[in-house]
């Protein structure tokens, strides 16, 4: 190619500069437009977390929250004296235990994976199969389940009464009651505490109108989340927790997850064939911090869980960049753990801690 005469260079430079200038002006304008559209769309699917999850029926008085917090961390109410709510819902693991399936009293294995209790009050029902109406009912029945292993409520309440400092705390929380230590009050106090456990993240700042609270990569992930169809199930303030859906809409879940046994989910509660393999859509807040995944904890890492979701729920094979993008977005849902959860409270002294051979064996195993 013949070199251009020197005189032509300035013209090319000018054309080039004008073109670059136009691009530079219009590109951010376009970005701003699409950022605004994305925020608007996001607000139609999601909401920022509330300050707390109190309802008219279940208020959060400071006294109840203080008592409930102590009860949550107290191992002395379990039959072997070793299990508290916080044993399986550890602050250091974002209120989970990091196990595929939790271990209850005498190290017996529970049937499912422990979900986080952070933001759990947002869910329309509790447990993977929704067997409990709310966190209060969940806390009450926990006393008799394989986690705590009490034979009946009277035995559990006797364990609380054996700790003198609790009497005044129950009285303050439920004033005017002749016998304030009861399983209903235990569950209302723990429930009140749980209803304060919200973990806001940058995603909430974003939804409140700050597009830059999320990085460009996170916003692209959010777009992928919406466009792929994850929002069909994972929506609302918790990005889940609003209904039951079949796990395995497009294909059988256990083939994709390699689950060793087939859990029938909601069917186990209702016995209705329409509920076979239905599970509560889990809240995705803090999901990056709460492996292993799914009701049986068989999947260890988030990219794998996301790929399986797309395949079995939506019949979509995601590309590696799509998976990465979704995982990046999900990371923005990691919030701040409330200080009242991160730090264990001091408990009233006393009580009886059994030391049977079975429980000491379990503890030293
Ligand atoms: C031995 C371990 C263990 C202990 C102790 C334990 N949990 Fe859990 N928790 C679990 C497991 C496992 C599940 C899931 C059970 C299921 O869905 O079948 C669960 C579920 C929950 C849920 C439902 C969350 C959701 O998204 O559906 C809440 C709330 C909860 N636990 C609170 C508590 C409270 C409060 C206590 C103490 C009273 C407690 N847990 C004690 C293991 C435990
Ligand atoms: C048709 C409803 C539906 C759609 C669509 C859907 N999910 Fe889910 N998702 C569920 C259900 C139900 C579960 C619980 C499965 C189980 O039983 O373990 C779940 C579980 C998850 C989990 C595991 C959470 C945990 O704590 O173990 C992640 C992560 C997840 N979904 C992300 C996604 C992503 C990303 C998409 C889009 C690619 C998506 N989901 C699409 C219903 C859905």
Look at residue 365 in the predicted model and tell me its pLDDT. 35
Residues lining ligand 1, Cβ inside 6 A: 72, 83, 85, 87-89, 102-104, 110-112, 114-115, 117, 120, 123, 126-128, 135, 138-139, 142, 147, 190
User: Same domain, yes or no, for 193 and 240?
Assistant: no
Cα–Cα distance measured from residue 312 to residue 254, given in angstroms and rounded to the nearest whole number: 10
Interval 169-200: pLDDT, tens = 999 999 999 899 999 999 999 999 999 999 99
* CA–CA gap between residue 196 and residue 341 (Å, rounded): 10
- Answer yes or no: do 233 and 203 share one domain: yes
Q: Taking a C-beta distance cutoff of 8 angstroms, is the pair 104, 110 a contact?
A: yes
Which residue's alpha carbon is at the smallest distance from atom 9 of ligand 1? 114
Look up the domain containing 73 and give its range: 62-198
- Same domain membership, residue 176 and residue 241: no
Rounded distance, CA 303 to CA 323, Å? 6
Q: What is the number of the ligand 1 atom nearest to the C-alpha of 111?
A: 18
Q: How many CB atoms lie within 10 A of CB 316?
A: 16
Lowest mean pLDDT among 2-11, 60-69, 196-205, 285-294: 2-11
Spatial distance between the Cα atoms of 162 and 144, rounded to a whole number of angstroms: 18
Q: Is pLDDT above 60 for 90?
A: yes
The verdict on 176 and 220 lying in the same domain is no
Task: Give the whole-angstrom CA distance, residue 329 versus residue 216.
Answer: 10
Q: Which of 198, 230, 252 is the last residue of a domain?
A: 198
**Residue 13 resides in a domain:** no
Q: Which two tokens stand for residue 18?
A: 């004008």
The overall average pLDDT reported for the chain is 91
The verdict on residue 256 lying in a domain is: yes
pLDDT of residue 363: 43
DSSP 336: P
66 and 192 in a single domain? The answer is: yes
Same domain, 207 and 185: no
Domain shared by 225 and 298, yes or no: yes
- 132-146, 207-221, 227-241, 348-362: lowest mean pLDDT where? 348-362
Q: Please tell me whether residues 206 and 326 are part of one structural domain.
A: yes
* Closest residue by CA, ligand 2 atom 19: 281
pLDDT of residue 10: 53
pLDDT of residue 1: 46
Instruction: To the nearest 10°, report the CA torsion of 25, 30, 32, 37.
Output: 170
Do 241 and 136 share a structural domain?
no
User: Residue 107's pLDDT is what?
Assistant: 87
In a domain, 336, yes or no: no
Contact 286, 200 (CB under 8 A): no
Q: Say if residue 193 is in the same domain as residue 211.
A: no
Percent of all residues in the chain with a pLDDT value above 70, rounded to a whole number: 89
Ligand 2 neighbours (beta carbon < 6 A)? 128, 228-230, 232-234, 245, 247, 249, 279, 281-282, 284, 287, 290, 293-295, 305-306, 309-310, 313-314, 326
Q: Please check whether residues 215 and 188 belong to one and the same domain.
A: no
3-state SS, one letter per residue, for 106-132: HHCECCCCCCCCCCHHHCCCECCCCCE
pLDDT exceeds cutoff 90 at 136? yes
Question: How many domains are there within the chain?
Answer: 2
Phi/psi zone of residue 106: left (φ > 0), alpha (ψ -120 to 50 degrees), beta?
left
The mean pLDDT value for 286-305 works out to 98
Q: Which of 198, 231, 258 is at the close of a domain? A: 198
Q: Which of helix, strand or coil describes residue 309?
A: helix
pLDDT at site 15: 54
**Two tokens at 289?**
């911090």
Q: Is 16 part of a structural domain of the chain?
A: no
Mean pLDDT across 9-28? 53
* CATH number (domain holding residue 307): 1.10.760.10
Let me know if residue 29 belongs to a domain.
no
Confidence of residue 52 (pLDDT cuts 50, 70, 90): very high
| pLDDT tens sequence across 254-284 | 999 999 999 999 999 999 999 999 999 999 9
The verdict on 255 and 323 lying in the same domain is: yes
What SS3 class is residue 170?
Answer: helix
pTM of the prediction?
0.91
Convert the pLDDT of each residue in 55-88 to its tens digit: 999 999 999 999 999 999 999 999 999 999 999 9
| In-domain check, residue 258 | yes
Ligand at minimal distance from the CA of 269 is 1
In a domain, 11, yes or no: no
């Amino acid at each position: 190619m013949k070199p251009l005469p020197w005189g032509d260079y300035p013209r090319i430079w000018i054309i080039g500069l004008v073109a670059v200038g136009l691009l530079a002006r219009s590109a951010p304008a376009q970005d701003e437009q699409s950022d605004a559209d994305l925020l608007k769309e996001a607000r139609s699917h999601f909401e920022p977390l509330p300050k707390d999850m109190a309802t008219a029926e279940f208020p959060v008085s400071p006294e109840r929250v203080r008592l409930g917090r102590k009860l949550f961390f107290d191992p002395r109410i379990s039959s072997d004296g070793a299990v508290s709510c916080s044993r399986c819902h550890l602050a250091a693991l974002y209120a989970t235990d990091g196990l595929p399936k939790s271990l209850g009293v005498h190290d017996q294995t529970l049937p499912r994976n422990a979900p986080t209790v952070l933001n759990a009050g947002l869910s329309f029902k509790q447990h993977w199969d929704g067997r409990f109406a709310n966190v209060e009912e969940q806390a009450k029945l926990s006393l008799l389940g394989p986690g705590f292993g009490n034979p009946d409520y009277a035995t559990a309440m006797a364990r609380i009464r054996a700790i003198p400092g609790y009497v005044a705390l129950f009285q303050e929380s439920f004033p005017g009651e002749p016998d304030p230590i009861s399983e209903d009050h235990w569950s209302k106090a723990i429930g009140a505490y749980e209803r304060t456990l919200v973990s806001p993240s940058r995603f909430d700042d974003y939804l409140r109108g700050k597009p830059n609270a999320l990085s460009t990569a996170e916003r692209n992930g959010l777009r992928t989340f919406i466009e792929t169809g994850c929002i069909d199930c994972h929506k609302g303030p918790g990005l889940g927790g609003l209904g039951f859906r079949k796990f395995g809409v497009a294909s059988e879940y256990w083939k994709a997850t390699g689950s060793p046994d087939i859990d029938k989910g909601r069917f186990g509660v209702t016995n209705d064939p329409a509920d076979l393999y239905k599970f509560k859509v889990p809240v995705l807040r803090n999901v990056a911090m709460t492996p292993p995944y799914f009701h049986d904890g068989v999947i260890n890492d988030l990219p794998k869980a996301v790929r399986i979701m797309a395949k079995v729920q939506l019949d979509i094979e995601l590309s590696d960049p799509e998976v990465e993008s979704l995982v990046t977005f999900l990371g923005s849902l990691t919030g701040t753990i409330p200080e009242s959860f991160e730090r264990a409270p001091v408990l009233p002294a006393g009580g009886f801690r059994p030391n049977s051979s079975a429980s000491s064996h379990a503890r030293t195993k």
